[in-house]
């Protein structure tokens, strides 16, 4: 093949958000749009991570992925990349990509130094919906802000990109290596089935045999995302679950028209099956889980029971050493994102573990893990993971829960009453107290209005006495705000500082209100309100969460003047 230099001009707004660049497919389909971003990324990397390097290109299989794989492959060839690794049919979950970067070795002994992950995660897909792209680094984790800032600045000055226009399209539905020869030497496209690599990795972490004995096959809803491929292989073929326990496990370019976000609103079929939605006279199963489009998120359900993600990571951390072989030698530390509830903090304190609070987005956990300071981490947004890779991992979380269930029931396999998901959560609350938690999302709000709402919340922070006066007028039954700020994070490993990471109001009794603007949407603004209240008294940990939080919710909405600014009387989604 030969290399062509194409002249181009910059596009506005190619700034990577919380997790890459996410826009409507039609935006990505504009001539040069994807190309500009990809070349800006190559130009932001050290030369040896491009020339002669091995790069992964794959994603959640959403609409436009197959075209994008061909374009990026041709640009990689032209930029001197030695080989690209592509998942069969362009499919590779985000955690699988992270694992492949870290573990996979080419025939000549080389490893990948990075990956273009083609996903907009939990956003809908299809010709009129979202596409996304992000770059992960040599450690398997999302590019840090120093790199994404450089990519963004390159997108503003780009004048040309390199592409091998005459490189034929490679058939990515077939496993195998195709070799080409270019001006700088050979170039290979290696198409493979990443479920094999991923299962191998999971087997180094979990005891599949003891999970299998439990016979509690998960009911798994992949919402037509890429998780379906892995679920079939792991839950059915490896762990012996019945095929009928899988829901929506065939990956589709448009996720079957659905919203591939594993929560009580969007994972409807699973929610019904688990007895939390439409009532039916079929007895629900004991364990259910769901994933998002790129399979890094998870929702864990018991029979008629929802596990809050903030509780999930705390419970996994509290039980990991006994239940999961990978952690048998102890945890190096634990971490959560700022808006995630403090359930994990209480576990860390009790178990005397190092603890970190980082901004939203997985990239901040990576540094801690690389430095050997953190083993398990999580976010309230249905993200849980560990230092086996540098992304959150939806199927890992399910296997972690199955391992905990297997451990709690290990002396109990004779048909006695099983310890259930709900039992485990209630026992946890009994020991550590409960963090009542809810998140209100206002999606696709006018961007200006959202900015003003946030600015008002910041300016109010200058006088806590005024804030408390206001709050007392709204509800007399909540405690006083004792501190308020915008969260700022100094990375303990590299000293980098991230500012404006969410507005916090901290109450005397440990309750918190947090306000953030989403960094993953593709149109307008999404306002997230995170509401949390701690209850230590074990006689009061069994309340309905929305009831318990009603006073604080009231305060959050009135203090922020939500309806006045946004015109919305109710959130789009409550989790």
CB burial of residue 574 (10 Å; 0-12, 13-18, 19+): middle
Smallest distance from ligand VG1 to CB 450, Å: 13
**Quick check: 383 binds ligand VG1 (CB under 6 A)?**
yes
Burial 308-340 (b: 16+ CB within 10 A, else e): bbbbbbbbbbbbbbebbebbeeebbbbbbbbbb
Distance of closest approach, residue 360 Cβ to Co ion, in angstroms:
13
Token pair belonging to 550: 């009603």
End-to-end CA distance of the chain: 51
Could you say whether residue 121 binds Co ion (CB under 5 A)? yes
Site for ligand VG1 in 122-161 (CB under 6 A): 122
Among 519, 524, 545, 573, indicate the residue that binds ligand VG1 (CB under 6 A): 519
Closer residue to ligand VG1 in complex, CB, 510/519: 519
Binds 259, which of ligand VG1, Co ion, none (CB < 5 to 8 A, cut-off by type)? Answer: none
Distances in Å between the Cα of 506 and the Cα atoms of 1, 66, 101, 342, 531 are: 60, 47, 40, 12, 11
| Other beta carbons less than 10 A from residue 350's beta carbon | 11
> Closest Cα partner for 75 from 91, 67, 253?
67
Both tokens assigned to 172: 């990515």
Q: Which is nearer to ligand VG1, 248 or 337 (CB)?
A: 337
- Residue closer to ligand VG1 by CB (options 67, 443) is 443
**Pair 54, 160: CB distance under 8 Å:** no
* Interface positions, 259-298, toward ligand VG1 (CB under 6 A): 292, 296-297
> What minimum distance in Å lies between the beta carbon of 573 and ligand VG1?
12
> Which region, judged by CB under 6 A, interacts with ligand VG1, from 244-252, 356-364, 472-480, 531-539?
356-364
Query: In the range 289-308, which residues lie near Co ion by CB under 5 A?
Result: 292, 294, 296-297
121 included as an active-site residue: yes
Q: Which stretch binds ligand VG1 (CB under 6 A): 53-61, 344-352, 357-365, 567-575?
A: 357-365
> Considering the rule CB under 6 A, would residue 381 count as an interface residue with ligand VG1?
yes
**Shortest spacing between CB 425 and Co ion, in angstroms:** 24
- Spatial CA neighbour of 454 closest among 351, 529, 344, 356: 529
Nearer to ligand VG1, 70 or 121 (CB): 121
Pairing outcome for strands 334-337 and 376-379: parallel
When asked if residue 393 is in the footprint of Co ion (CB under 5 A), the reply is no
Residues, the chain: 575
Chain centroid to Cα 477, Å, comes to 35
x/- mask, ligand VG1, residues 79-118, rule CB under 6 A, reads ----------------------------------------
Scan residues 332-351 and list those touching ligand VG1 (CB under 6 A).
337
Beta partners for residue 355, in sequence order: 334
Question: What is the bridge-based pairing of β-strands 114-118 and 54-59?
Answer: parallel
Residues contacting ligand VG1: total by CB under 6 A: 18
Residue number with CB closer to ligand VG1 (294 or 535): 294
Site for ligand VG1 in 10-29 (CB under 6 A): 18-19
Q: How far is it, in rounded angstroms, from Cα 121 to Cα 336?
A: 20
- Of the residues 58, 65, 90, 121, only one is catalytic, namely 121
Among 528, 556, 557, 565, the residue binding ligand VG1 under the rule CB under 6 A is 528
Of 417, 419, 410, 231, the residue nearest 322 (C-alpha): 410
> Considering beta carbons, is residue 88 or 575 the nearer one to ligand VG1?
575
Distance CA 189, CA 172 (A): 9
Q: Which two tokens stand for residue 163?
A: 């592409």
Residues that bind ligand VG1 (CB under 6 A): 18-19, 121-122, 292, 296-297, 337, 360-362, 379, 381, 383, 518-520, 528
Residues that bind Co ion (CB under 5 A): 121, 292, 294, 296-297
**Residue positions annotated with a catalytic role:** 121
């Amino acid at each position: 093949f030969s290399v062509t230099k194409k002249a181009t001009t910059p596009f506005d707004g190619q700034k990577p958000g919380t997790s890459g660049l996410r826009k409507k497919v039609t935006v990505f389909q504009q001539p040069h749009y994807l190309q500009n971003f990809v070349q800006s990324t190559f130009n932001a990397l050290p030369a040896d991570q491009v020339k002669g390097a091995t790069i992964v290109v794959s994603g959640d299989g959403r609409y436009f992925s197959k075209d994008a794989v061909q374009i990026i492959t041709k640009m990689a060839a032209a930029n001197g990349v030695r080989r690209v690794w592509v998942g069969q049919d362009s499919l590779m979950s985000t955690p699988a990509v992270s694992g492949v970067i870290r573990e996979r070795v080419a025939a000549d002994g080389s490893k990948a130094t990075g990956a273009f992950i083609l996903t907009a995660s939990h956003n809908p897909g299809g010709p009129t919906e979202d596409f996304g792209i992000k770059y992960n680094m040599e450690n398997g984790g999302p590019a840090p802000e120093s790199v994404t800032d450089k990519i963004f600045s390159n997108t503003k000055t780009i004048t040309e990109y390199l592409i091998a226009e005459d490189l034929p399209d490679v058939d990515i539905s077939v496993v195998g290596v195709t070799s080409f020869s270019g001006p700088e030497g050979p170039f290979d496209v290696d198409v493979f089935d990443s479920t094999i690599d991923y299962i191998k990795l999971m087997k180094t972490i979990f005891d599949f045999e003891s999970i299998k004995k439990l016979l509690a096959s998960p009911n798994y809803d992949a919402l037509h995302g890429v998780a379906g491929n892995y679920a079939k292989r792991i839950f059915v073929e490896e762990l012996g679950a019945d095929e009928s326990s899988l829901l929506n496990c065939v990956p589709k370019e448009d996720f079957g028209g659905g919203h591939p976000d594993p929560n009580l609103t969007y994972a409807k079929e699973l929610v019904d099956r688990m007895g939390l939605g439409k009532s039916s006279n079929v007895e629900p199963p004991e364990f259910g889980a769901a994933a998002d489009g790129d399979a890094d998120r998870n929702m864990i359900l018991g029979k008629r029971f929802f596990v809050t993600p903030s509780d999930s990571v705390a419970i996994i951390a509290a039980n990991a050493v006994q239940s999961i072989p990978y952690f048998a030698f102890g945890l190096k530390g634990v971490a959560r994102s700022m808006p995630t509830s403090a359930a994990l903090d209480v576990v860390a304190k009790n178990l005397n573990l190092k603890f970190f609070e980082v901004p939203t987005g997985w990239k901040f956990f990576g540094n801690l893990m690389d430095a050997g300071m953190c083993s398990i981490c999580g976010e309230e947004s249905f993200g849980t993971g560990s230092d086996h890779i540098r992304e959150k991992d939806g199927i890992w979380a399910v296997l972690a829960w199955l391992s905990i269930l297997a451990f709690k029931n290990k002396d109990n396999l004779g048909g006695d009453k099983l310890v259930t998901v709900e039992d485990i959560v209630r026992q946890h609350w009994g020991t550590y107290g409960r963090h009542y938690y809810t998140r209100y999302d206002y999606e696709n709000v006018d961007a200006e209005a959202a900015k003003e709402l946030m600015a008002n919340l910041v300016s109010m922070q200058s006088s806590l006495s005024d804030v408390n006066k206001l709050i007392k007028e709204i509800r007399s039954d909540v405690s006083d705000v004792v501190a308020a700020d915008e969260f700022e994070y100094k990375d303990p490993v590299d000293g980098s500082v991230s500012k404006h990471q969410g507005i916090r109001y901290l109450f005397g009794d440990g309750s918190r209100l947090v306000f953030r603007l989403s960094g993953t949407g593709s149109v307008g603004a999404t306002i997230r309100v995170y509401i949390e209240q701690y209850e230590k008294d074990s006689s009061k940990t069994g309340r309905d969460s929305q009831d318990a939080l009603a006073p604080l919710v009231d305060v959050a909405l009135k203090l922020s003047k939500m309806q006045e600014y946004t015109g919305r009387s109710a959130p789009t989604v409550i989790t």
